[in-house]
A and B are shown apart, each in its own frame.
Chain A
Amino acid sequence: MDNEKEFIAKLLAPETREKAFRQLVTLYSRPLYSHIRNIVLNHDDTDDVLQNTFIKVFKNLDRFKGESKLFSWMYRIATNEAITFINQKARKQGITNEEVVQKAVQNLTADEHFEGDEIQLKLQQAISILPEKQQLVFKMKYFEDLKYEEISDVLGTSVGALKASYHHAVKKVEEYITKT
């Protein structure tokens, strides 16, 4: 976004808010879809979480202080929404978050909106057995190509810790794929 400050001012002003927000949704729906989909894995769930994310962003616009970038703030809300969704699903089904994700990976072969080949499926399986934070870091770095500084803004973790997390995640993923 060329002039973020100007755009944020439009988002906050009641008379320009709707038009600016429409622009925001159009601009961010694809990257946020990918981000949420990488966490919840299934399209229908992603659709629900993505809509909730934008509604939450809209409701909280007045609270956006501009201390972080709009991008990081929205990604943070999307990440929280996706994780909350998994928590709720786990509670409803009486299983752990890890089991929810592993179940979703098992269902990928029958998912018409997943066009992964054998290696892509193996990669998803390998990621699903990583600790939650490592999963997030790996997906944001490897699939979404975000910079460590950007991930740091979203997750509130230091760049050094993120690098270590990613390094461990890559090792485990490579080991898993080599063994299977």
Chain B
Amino acid sequence: MKNFKLDNEKKVTSGFKAPEGYFDNFTDKVMKQLPEKETKVVPLYKSVQKWYGGVAAILVILFGVGLFFKLNTSGDEIVQPDASTIENYLVYQSDITNEDLYQSLNESDIEILEENIQISNEAIENYIAYENEYEYYIND
């Protein structure tokens, strides 16, 4: 084609079209997917249940840790568990969730973690790329 100039040509459209009737029910399709926005009233007994649940979970963890070390120590000998033993215990005890671990960290723990763990920019980028929710905050 000789000397093609966009301004000299008739406007070229994108050529894309939506299937016939696509927009007829699009609004309804979106409306059905919207999350509930109303503020839910949580009955008191439910929050008490949650509170009891948390205490129970902590007791189970403490009991589990105690029992584990009790079973792994011989006689009267008191052995201080090393870091890898604790790590293995936490990794293989499936009823301890990440959430439980986050909850047990205080500010100085987090500061120590920040000092000791080097996170590369690439790792941060990958995390953000997979977690779409953060995009909004970056652009905002």
Which A residues have a C-beta under 8 Å from some C-beta of B?
14, 17-18, 21-22, 25-26, 29-30, 33-34, 37-38, 41, 43, 47, 50-51, 54-56, 58-60, 63, 76-77, 80-81, 84, 87-88, 91, 108, 113-117, 119-121, 123-124, 139, 142-143, 156, 170, 173-174, 177-178, 180
Contact = CB atoms under 8 A, between A and B. Distances in A.
Interface of B: 1-6, 9, 12-19, 22-23, 26-27, 29-31, 33-35, 37-38, 129, 132, 135-136, 139-140
B135 A84 contact: yes
Contacts of A59: 35
Contacts, number: 104
Contacts of B16: 34, 37-38, 41, 43, 113-114, 116
Contacts of B17: 113-115
Contacts of B136: 56, 60, 63, 77, 80
Contacts of B6: 142, 170, 173-174
A138 to B, nearest CB: 10
A24 B136 CA distance: 20
A17 B31 CA distance: 11
26 contacts: A14-B37, A14-B38, A18-B31, A22-B27, A22-B31, A25-B26, A25-B31, A30-B23, A33-B18, A37-B18, A41-B16, A43-B19, A51-B30, A59-B35, A77-B136, A80-B135, A84-B132, A108-B15, A113-B18, A117-B15, A119-B9, A139-B14, A143-B13, A143-B14, A156-B139, A174-B6
Contacts of B34: 18, 21, 55, 58
Contacts of A170: 6
A141 to B, nearest CB: 11
Contacts of A121: 15
A52 to B, nearest CB: 8
A34 B1 CA distance: 28
A61 to B, nearest CB: 9
Contact of A114 (B9, B15, B30): B15
